[in-house]
A and B are shown apart, each in its own frame.
Chain A
């Protein structure tokens, strides 16, 4: 049986190769999804927590408790209060604390341990060589020990110290390179260590201890323990056990203990977050009870950030699932279609096997073997391929854009194998369905059944189409009208979103399959008389779509639609995030300048503009006003939540970066208005509304400073009413009550200066200078101008833009949509080519007959091309249309995916023409390949032998 299966595969090389490619792609995609999602969430964690790591220099999974043992209020253990000065108290406290941490804190972090270490050290002491009897060369040192020291260092000279006193009774020690160069001690030195009292080294114990340096060490580059690598250049390391016994237990010399634990935060178990929070609270309580709360330096994992990280991961996974769902459905459909093709191709063979008495079970088994071989191969190869693919996708910097980027951490998780396995099983099941059906029908029966089934099929198809249309319309209605967004209150995606997407695509495809033949028949009816044989037969064939044609039409429509849908979704998300960032941060830096009156002076605060002619800084003043208000001549007044913005149009336009598609006119148009009519103003739509539907041309009275006398008002004609302005957008949240909205009025600085040139202002600038430099500059310049000025509320636009670019949501969406697009195009290509191969192959007799009837090769070729146009090109065109439509319908729902991004400019649906071009190129290549393949296959068909084939 197996032999027969393999033989069959070899007999049908091209078809089997494509089938195999199809199965491989299907499994590959299934396998890539979990790998990629994991990679993305990991990178997200890194992005989110790397700031923490940079600021704190410790891993977000680290606990550090470092305290002076003398600070403990009392003995903490259960043995009752011991005299604080009793030498055993420190040891009891230390042991108690160690036990507590090991038993009650570290396990409650629910992270696998990476490092755990305990350090003990003395206070600062002095050390000198024993031979240096007048102690002329003493060095400050700390005797320390760490139970994991050897894991982080390598000896570069000498050896590791012994765990016991050596034969001379010395304590063996090692020092770091830094300590060596600080103290000039080296291997072989025997040190005397003690406190310094009136410049005399006083022995610190009754019994001398001498310390012999036996080694110099350096840190290994992979050291993960910051407690060790934190080198002050004065540490002298003693073996931990020796330190504990000799220096701590016997001599009570340990003064400071540090406990360190680092867990793998990427493996944090979020379900246990309550326990972790409790444990950390408990720790803080204990620190207070023990009396070391103030003196101890403690670092604990930023659990709140964990929470938000895991929330984000969930949100992203949900989003990814949304994008992958149609693709996975497509993949299943694809495999079903492929096996249907294969079975149809083998129809005669199946019938023959049937007639020879092969049981249905045996036929199914034969195909099971065939498919099984392909699936097993697929399962073996695809995890590896998916790693490569993910690496590639991990470099995605935009939709279908790949830039070199820090590589994503990609590992094959068990879920990848699981997905892989399930995809394989599903593939086999999907494959067997058509085989199972085919195996029971004999050829004659098959032919007879066709009439009945075609009528029944059409009716069924019609009903299905209507159901799909209804479902998609209803779910869209519910999504948009009633729930107003894509997300449920819990933050996951509305299941209806899937329903909508799937039913919409299904509707489009079914509608096409249902209506298109009718349409072709109509054309055929009209043009019948004029059509040439090749075009006529193409029309006649496609207008009486058989199951195979229906499949490929649905398939092509779906793939292309999903491709275009991916493209629109990705572009819309990207574009809106991008412009929302650009729009909130229109220049490198926006900062308030606060001026203070000189101490003791009663003078008015002066606010000179300090950024005139600063080298390397391009800046403009944006006047803020002081409790500004606007009113109309008819008494309508607005004096709350009002953003007053005095600008200098020319400077403003050169500094602000603005997406000119946000407003109906480019920004320069509005700036020109206000430049040419300096007393005029631009107001926001909601301002106009609150002021009683003010229109362009009406005059409003603007008072930039409530503290000024009554005449200080700008009589200002309204030049334009806008929806958005750099940094301003009417608060989306506050739709409930107008009173909560924020309002905007923009005027020319020159008009304000006529009233007062001393209003509070912001500075908007583009510069490469650091914020610290700018702050210093402000203080200096302020002093030169006789004021004391400070920069406050500095907004770093550059950084925000950068953060936006590495925004993990964006990366996830881009990567997954790129993956979707690539996958879809890949299976589209394979499906397409297989269809044509089978289509031509199965029509050998027909084509041979046509040749015998006198159609030339050229005629036949043009017939095939015409069929291709009628079937595939139209499916593709429809797919593009459906994709655009679904993207346009769906894109507004995506808006809710990033309302947390803060202020939004008007949300726009975006589409990039280049994506269509990419799509077109792929399709043209496909068509070209199919033309070449078709002509090769057609050339091979010899009428005489083709007809002979039909005789059987």
Chain B
């Protein structure tokens, strides 16, 4: 199996007062290249925490994270910055666009950070992919929540990262649009060769995923590979 990202025995504790809460408990996950994997679970089950650890934003209390064939658990902040800049990108539950930049500029901004050429075609293409070709020069406050989320997705793919982490990207969208987004993810997996890891509550989304991990109380309780049935 060709795992592009892999978490081994991941534990994460958070201090809470003088107690410690065990949010993740010996989690083992791996993600295949060019697939769409969904992490599912009840609110507070530890999805975001796991994503943050896999996506280099957070470090596990114990356990190891492997990415792109390398153990990245103990890499320096600087090295992690490099990985974030080039290889992974995020779509957050909170939309987090740059408020003073237009949709176009927000997408362009990612290219700036990654120091990739700011190709107008590419930016427009990405915005087109998320269905925003008629909202290119709108400012974030002129966009609806869902539109903002889609700009964030365009931003996440524009510099051709290897992995996209999407934390409940469809939470604010109606089911129609959510489906569109899922299909779009599949399209970019095919077109761009990326790997998508996302979390969701939405039962309907599960069927559109390649693989589904279910988290409960910091533990992986089930694993489904939808492709087997296809």
Assuming the contacts A852-B84, A944-B57, A947-B92, asked whether A540 and B101 have C-beta atoms less than 8 A apart, the reply is: yes
Contact status A540-B98, CB under 8 Å: yes
CB-based nearest B residue for A855? B113
Contact status A846-B112, CB under 8 Å: no
B114 within 8 A of A: yes
By a CB distance below 8 angstroms, the chain B residues around A851 are: 57, 84
B105 within 8 A of A: yes
The listed residue (A853, A944, A947) touching B89 by CB distance below 8 A is: A853
The 0/1 profile, CB within 8 Å of B marked 1, for residues 686-724 of chain A is 000000000000000000000000000000000000000
B25 within 8 A of A: no
A375–B121 CA distance with the chains assembled, in angstroms: 58
Contact status B92-A536, CB under 8 Å: no
A951–B47 CA distance with the chains assembled, in angstroms: 14
CB-based nearest A residue for B78? A856
> Can you list 16 contacts pairing A with B, beta carbon distance less than 8 Å?
A450-B141, A533-B109, A533-B113, A540-B105, A546-B100, A846-B99, A848-B96, A849-B92, A853-B89, A854-B81, A854-B86, A854-B114, A855-B81, A943-B58, A947-B93, A950-B94
Q: Name the residue among B81, B82, B101, B112 with the largest chain A CB count within 10 angstroms.
A: B112
A450–B142 CA distance with the chains assembled, in angstroms: 9
By a CB distance below 8 angstroms, the chain B residues around A947 are: 52, 57, 92-94, 96
B119 CB to nearest chain A CB (Å): 11
CB-based nearest B residue for A549? B100
By a CB distance below 8 angstroms, the chain A residues around B77 are: 856-857
B48 within 8 A of A: yes
A529–B105 CA distance with the chains assembled, in angstroms: 12
B110 within 8 A of A: yes
Assuming the contacts A537-B98, A540-B100, asked whether A529 and B118 have C-beta atoms less than 8 A apart, the reply is: yes
Contact status A944-B58, CB under 8 Å: yes
CB-based nearest A residue for B87? A854
B213 within 8 A of A: no
By a CB distance below 8 angstroms, the chain B residues around A859 are: 113
A62 within 8 A of B: no
A531 within 8 A of B: yes
A547 CB to nearest chain B CB (Å): 13
A948 within 8 A of B: yes
A450–B92 CA distance with the chains assembled, in angstroms: 24
The 0/1 profile, CB within 8 Å of B marked 1, for residues 931-952 of chain A is 0000000000011100111110
A447 within 8 A of B: yes
By a CB distance below 8 angstroms, the chain B residues around A532 are: 112
B90 within 8 A of A: yes
B219 within 8 A of A: no
B85 within 8 A of A: yes
A544–B100 CA distance with the chains assembled, in angstroms: 6
Contact status B100-A447, CB under 8 Å: no
CB-based nearest A residue for B112? A533
A943–B82 CA distance with the chains assembled, in angstroms: 15
The 0/1 profile, CB within 8 Å of A marked 1, for residues 200-211 of chain B is 000000000000
CB-based nearest B residue for A543? B100
A451 within 8 A of B: yes
A541 within 8 A of B: yes
CB-based nearest A residue for B89? A853
Assuming the contacts A540-B100, A944-B57, asked whether A950 and B110 have C-beta atoms less than 8 A apart, the reply is: no
By a CB distance below 8 angstroms, the chain A residues around B52 are: 943-944, 947
The listed residue (B48, B84, B112) touching A948 by CB distance below 8 A is: B48
A533 CB to nearest chain B CB (Å): 4
Closest 3 CB pairs of A and B: A854-B85, A950-B94, A854-B84
A513 within 8 A of B: no
A529–B118 CA distance with the chains assembled, in angstroms: 8
Chain A positions 409-468 with a Cβ under 8 Å from a chain B Cβ: 447, 450-451
Contact status B94-A541, CB under 8 Å: no
Q: Name the residue among A447, A537, A850 with the largest chain B CB count within 10 angstroms.
A: A537
Contact status A536-B81, CB under 8 Å: no
Contact status B109-A536, CB under 8 Å: yes
Contact status B142-A451, CB under 8 Å: yes
The 0/1 profile, CB within 8 Å of B marked 1, for residues 845-874 of chain A is 110111111111101000000000000000
Contact status B112-A536, CB under 8 Å: yes
The listed residue (B95, B96, B118, B141) touching A447 by CB distance below 8 A is: B141
By a CB distance below 8 angstroms, the chain A residues around B112 are: 531-533, 536
The 0/1 profile, CB within 8 Å of B marked 1, for residues 869-905 of chain A is 0000000000000000000000000000000000000
Contact status A853-B110, CB under 8 Å: yes
By a CB distance below 8 angstroms, the chain B residues around A849 are: 92, 96, 98
Contact status B90-A853, CB under 8 Å: yes
By a CB distance below 8 angstroms, the chain B residues around A543 are: 100
Contact status A451-B141, CB under 8 Å: yes
